[in-house]
A and B are shown apart, each in its own frame.
Chain A
Amino acid sequence: MGSLLISDIRVSYPEFSLELSCEIPQGSLVSIIGPSGCGKSTTLQLISGLLSVNAGKIELNGEDITQKEVNKRNIALVFQDYALFPHMNVEKNIAYPMKLKNMKRSVIRREVKEYLALVGLTGYEKRVISELSGGEKQRIALARALASSPEILLLDEPLSALDAKKRKHLRQQIRDIHDTTGITTIYVTHDQEEALTLSDTVIVMRDGKIEQIGTPQEVYSTPSTLFVAQFMGEGTLMDASVLSSEHLKRQSSHTDGLQFSPDKMNLFFRPESGILVTDGGVFPPTLFDHLYLSDAAVTHQEYRGSRYLVSLKWKEQSLIVYSPRHLKADRVDVAIPLKDLIWYS
C-alpha cells in the first residue's frame, strides 16, 4: 500500500500542457475529476509511466520513480476499455501478472479464485472474454489489476461504458473492495456524483492544472474557484452590483454586514441554499443572516422526482432554487443564508 508524492511534474504537447503537484496519502481513495481534455487520463498515464514527464518528480513511498520503467513501478491501471486480452480466458487474464512473478501454478490457481470471489464473479475462470458483459469485463479487469498486488491502483473512467444502474452498483463495489484491501486508489471520472459519493479526496482539474483538492464536502460546499463551483453541481451565479444593503436581513447581534469589495463582484449559491417564501409561507426570518430578494418572477419549474428546480428572474438575474412542491404563485421572495454565499472576483 503506497503513498504517492507528485511534485511539479510537467508535460507539454503542441496543443496541451499539464503541470501539477499533489500528494496521495497511503490507503486513500482519491478521485480526479474534470471536463474532457483537462488532463486527468494523462495524469494517470504519467503516474503509471506510460507517458514520461518533461520535468518534475514522482515519488512512491519516498522512492523517486520518475525514470522507472512502466513494468517495474508496481502501479496497476484499469483501462477505460478494460483491455482484457482476448486470446486468454478469464483465468489466464487474472493469472497474467502472477505468472510474471513466477508464482507457483497451484498458488496462482488459488489466488485467481480469491480475486474472482473478491469482485463477485466466482466460477468465471474458464469464461471467454468476448462472452462477458460490460460490467463483468470491468470487474475482471479490476481483479487482474489487483492480482499484480500493486502499490497504487489507478482507474481510468472504469464505469463510463456502463449503464446508470450498473454504474451505481459497481462504484459501491469498488469502494468496498478498496476498504477491504486498503489499497491506495486513484479514480478518474468526469461524473461529479461518482466523485462525491466514492472518494475520500477529490482533485478537480482544468486545462492541465489542479483547481482544487479537498474532501467531497469541501469541493461541493466551499469551491475555491467559480469553475469548481459550477463543475461540481448546479447553482446560481449573480452579479453582486445589483444588491444593496436593503437586501440584507441580519440579526442585530452581528455587526458585519454585506461587504462589497470591488474585486469580488460575483456571488454563487447552490439551489438547495435558497429558501422560497410565498404568500402565506412560513419563514423564520430572524434565525440567520440572509439576503432577501423580494418579488422574483417564476419562469420555469423542472420536475426532479423528489423536488422541483425552480428558475426565477430577479432584476435581470437568473436564479435557480429547489422547491419541495410545485409553486402555484408566479412571483415569490427568495432568502439565501449569508453563510452559503460564495464570492468570486
Chain B
Amino acid sequence: MKKAEKNTAVTAFQSNRFYTVVSAPAIAVLLLLFFVPLLIILSKGFVSNEGKFTVGLITEALGDPYVLRVIMFTIIQSAVSTAGALAIGLPGAYLLSHYSFRGKRLVQAVATIPFILPSILVVLGFVIFYGNTGVLNTILIKLFNLSEPPIRVLYSFSAIILAHTFYNFPIILSIVANYWQQLPLRPEQAAQSLGATKSHIFRTITLPRLLPAIISASTLVFLFCFSSFAILLVLGGGPQFTTLEVEIYQRARMAGDISGSSALAMISIFIALILVTFYSLSQQKMKGSEEFSPSQVHREPRRMKSLPMKVFISSYILFTVIFILGPLLSITYRSLFAQVSRSGPMVFSLDNYRLLFSTMSKGANTSLLSIFNSVLIAFGASFISVTLGVLLSSRIVSGRRKDRVILEVSAMLPMVVSSVTLGLGYYMISVISSRWNINKILFVVLAHVVITSPFVLRSILPTYRRIPASYQMASLTLGASASRTFWKIDLPLLRNALASAGAFGFAISMGELQATLTLADSRIITLPITMYRLIGSYNFAAACALGTILMGVCIMIFLSIEYLKKGEVQHGFSSHF
C-alpha cells in the first residue's frame, strides 16, 4: 500500500464535511466549559475591589512572605516527592524491562491501581495503615512487644512525601520501563565490543539514553504533586504544610477572599504552564531521540539466575504489594471491625455498613445521598464527555495535520489549570448565575466533564485511529450517507473503546474531590466529600466503610476496562498481510 495515496484518500470530502459539522458543537462546548470559568478567574484576578483593572493583586500576593513560603513549600514538597517516586520507581523499571519473573504481572497490575484510585482513598489508607493506632503499628507492637507505636508519621512532612511517593511511583515505573524495554540494544553491544565494562556502559550509554524518559516522567510526577490536594489537606494538617492549591481553596471557601484566591490561581496557572511546556518538550525529545525501527534488536526479558537478583526481586515485589495494597486492604479490614460496647474490644461486624445505611443514625442520609450524588454526577459527566470525546476524535482522525493541534491543546490545557482552579471558576459562575436558581449539581457535572474529557479522549483515539479509512469509504461508495456510516461503521467498531472510556471517566468523576469541594463546599455532598468530612471528624470506621464501597466501584471499573481491552474488535484485514 502506498502511503501518499492512502493519506490523500482520507480526505473523502463529504464525510470530512460531516465530521467537521458534527464536531464543531463538541469543540465549542468543550472550549466554553473550559474557558468561561478560566476567564472569570482571570478577570477577578485583575480587577480591584473598586472594580478597576489592576495587577496589584498579583504583585501584592507575590510580595506577601506567607504566599512566597507557600509557593516555596509547594515546590520543595513536589521535588522531594518526585525524588522519592524516582527512588522506588527506577529499580522497578529496571526489573520489569529486563527480567521475566513470577509475580511480574502482579506487580504490573498492582502498579496500575494508583492510576484509577481516588486520592481520598490514598489518604484514608495512609491514616489507617500508618496511623499511631494503625495497622502497621499494631502489627509492629505485637511483633516486638513494644509499649509505644514505633512509627509516628501522620500529619507531618514525611506523611505527605510518603503518600505522594506511593501515589506517583507507578508513573515513573511504567513510563521508564516501557521506554527501556524498547531501547535498541545495539549501542550497548557496540560499547561492549569496544571493551567497556558493565558499569561504564550503564553510565555512558544507557543512562544518557534513558534520560529523556526519566525527565519526562519526573516532570509529570512533579506536576501532579504540585497540584495535589486531598493528601495535603488531610495529611499536611496545618498552615506550615500548605500548598498553593490548598491555599487557593482555603482563601476562596474559608476566608471568602475570591480576588486573592484568583490571584493565587493565576500564579499556579503560570507555574503549571512552565511545567507543562517543559513536559511537552521533554516528550518530543523522548520521541525523537531514538530510532525505533522493527529491524532493531530489542531487549527480551530474561529469567534471572543469580541468588542476589532473586532476593532483590522478591523483596521488590513484597515491598510494592505491601506498600500499595497494604493501605487499601487496611481500609476494608478496618471497615469490618467495630466496637460493640463503648469500651469493649474491636470485633468483626458489619455494623459500620449498617450504620451508614440505617435510617436511625444521623449520618445515614448523608451517606446514601452522597453515593446517589456521586453516581448521578459520574453518569452525567462520563456520558457527556464520551459524547464530546467521540465527536472530537472523529474530527481528529479524519482531519488534516493542523486539526491535531486540537488534541494537543485539549490534552494539555487541563493539566495547566488545576481542578481547584476549575472548581473556583465554576463556583464564580454559580455565584453570578445564582438568580436563575440553577441546581449546583449541574456545575459539578460540567466541571467533571472538563476534568474527565482528556482521559476519555485519549482512551477513544487510539482505537479510532486503527479503523482503516477504507471502511468508511467503502460504506460511502456502497451508498450510505456520511451520518449513516458514522452510526453503522464508526460507532459499532468503537463500542468497546467508548465503554472503557466511559468507565474511566466514571471512575475519575466518582473519586474527584478538589473541584467539587471548591465549587460546592458543603452544599453538594459526594462520596469523596463525605469521606473527607468523616476523616476530618476522626470517624474512621464510617470512612472506611464508605471507602470500601468507593474502592469496590473503582476495582469493578478497572476490571471491566481490562475485560473490554481483551474483547477489542480485531480489524481482521491486517492479520492476513
Contacts and interface: CB of A to CB of B under 8 A. Distances in A.
Interface of A: 13, 15-16, 36-37, 41-42, 45, 48-52, 69-77, 79-87, 96-97, 100-101, 129-130, 132-134, 137, 144-145, 148, 154, 161
A71 B11 contact: no
Interface in B443-491: 468, 470-471, 473-482, 484, 488-489
B477 A71 contact: yes
A87 B2 contact: no
Question: Interface centre among A42, A81, A161, by most B CB within 10 Å?
Answer: A81
B569 A81 contact: no
B475 A96 contact: yes
Nearest to A78: B474
Contacts of B474: 77, 79, 83-85, 144
B570 A86 contact: yes
A207 to B, nearest CB: 13
Contacts of B8: 13, 42, 45, 51
B478 A96 contact: yes
B470 A79 contact: yes
Interface in B311-367: none
A83 B470 contact: yes
Given A16-B4, A41-B5, A51-B9, A129 B476 contact: no
A48 B468 contact: no
Interface of B: 1-2, 4-5, 8-9, 11-15, 468, 470-471, 473-482, 484, 488-489, 492-493, 569-573, 575-577
Given A79-B473, A86-B569, A37 B576 contact: no
A137 B479 contact: no
A15 to B, nearest CB: 7
B477 A70 contact: yes
Given A51-B9, A81-B1, A87-B492, A97 B573 contact: no
Given A51-B9, A79-B470, A85-B471, A130 B570 contact: yes
A181 B484 CA distance: 29
Contacts of B571: 86
A82 B479 contact: no
Contacts of B12: 49-51, 70
B476 to A, nearest CB: 4
Contact of B493 (A75, A86, A96, A148): A86
B479 A71 contact: yes
A97 B5 contact: no
Given A15-B4, A85-B474, A85-B475, 5 more contacts: A48-B477, A71-B476, A74-B479, A97-B478, A130-B572
A186 to B, nearest CB: 13
A137 B480 CA distance: 21
B573 A137 contact: yes
A148 B478 contact: yes
Nearest to A13: B8
Contacts of B9: 41, 45, 50-51
B12 to A, nearest CB: 4
Contacts of A80: 1, 470
B489 A76 contact: no
Given A51-B12, A148-B478, A77 B473 contact: yes
A77 B575 contact: no
A42 B482 CA distance: 20
A73 B14 CA distance: 13
Contacts of A100: 478-480, 484
Given A83-B471, A96-B478, A69 B14 contact: yes
A87 B569 contact: yes
Contacts of B482: 71
22 contacts: A15-B4, A41-B5, A70-B12, A70-B15, A74-B479, A75-B477, A76-B477, A77-B474, A79-B473, A81-B573, A83-B470, A83-B573, A84-B572, A86-B572, A97-B478, A97-B480, A100-B479, A130-B572, A134-B576, A137-B572, A154-B477, A161-B577
A137 B478 CA distance: 17
B314 to A, nearest CB: 42
A41 B2 contact: yes
A134 B572 CA distance: 10
Nearest to A157: B1
Contacts of B575: 130
Contacts of A76: 477-478
Nearest to A40: B5
Contacts of B5: 37, 41-42
Contacts of B570: 86, 130
B398 to A, nearest CB: 12
Given A52-B13, A100-B484, A83 B493 contact: no
Contacts of B4: 15-16, 37
By Cβ-Cβ distance, the 9 closest A-B pairs, closest first, are A130-B572, A83-B470, A83-B474, A97-B478, A70-B476, A77-B477, A50-B12, A79-B470, A87-B492
B549 to A, nearest CB: 36
Contact of A129 (B473, B492, B572, B577): B572
Contacts of B13: 51-52
Contacts of A81: 1, 468, 470, 573, 577
A84 B467 CA distance: 11
A41 B469 CA distance: 15
Nearest to B471: A83
Nearest to B2: A36
B577 A83 contact: no
Nearest to B485: A71
A145 B468 contact: no
Contacts of A85: 471, 474-475, 489, 493
Given A85-B471, A87-B493, A51 B11 contact: yes
Contacts of B475: 85, 96
Contacts of A101: 479
A345 to B, nearest CB: 31
A82 B574 CA distance: 11
A300 B391 CA distance: 63
B495 to A, nearest CB: 8
Nearest to A16: B4
Given A50-B12, A130-B572, A83 B468 contact: yes
Contacts of B471: 83, 85
Question: Interface centre among A45, A71, A72, A137, by most B CB within 10 Å?
Answer: A71
A291 B134 CA distance: 105
Contact of A83 (B11, B473, B480, B492): B473
Question: Interface centre among A49, A50, A130, by most B CB within 10 Å?
Answer: A50
A144 B572 contact: no
Nearest to A68: B14
A74 B478 CA distance: 7
Contacts of A74: 479
B298 to A, nearest CB: 27
A248 B576 CA distance: 56
A69 B484 CA distance: 14
A87 B12 CA distance: 22
B473 A133 contact: no
B41 to A, nearest CB: 43
B573 A133 contact: no
A84 B576 CA distance: 13
A154 B477 CA distance: 10
Given A50-B12, A50-B476, A84 B2 contact: no
A45 to B, nearest CB: 6
Question: Interface centre among A15, A36, A69, by most B CB within 10 Å?
Answer: A69
A50 B481 contact: no
B276 to A, nearest CB: 33
Contacts of A161: 576-577
B477 A50 contact: yes
B576 A137 contact: yes
Contacts of A71: 14, 476-482
Nearest to A36: B2
A134 B8 CA distance: 25
A121 to B, nearest CB: 16
Contacts of A69: 14, 481
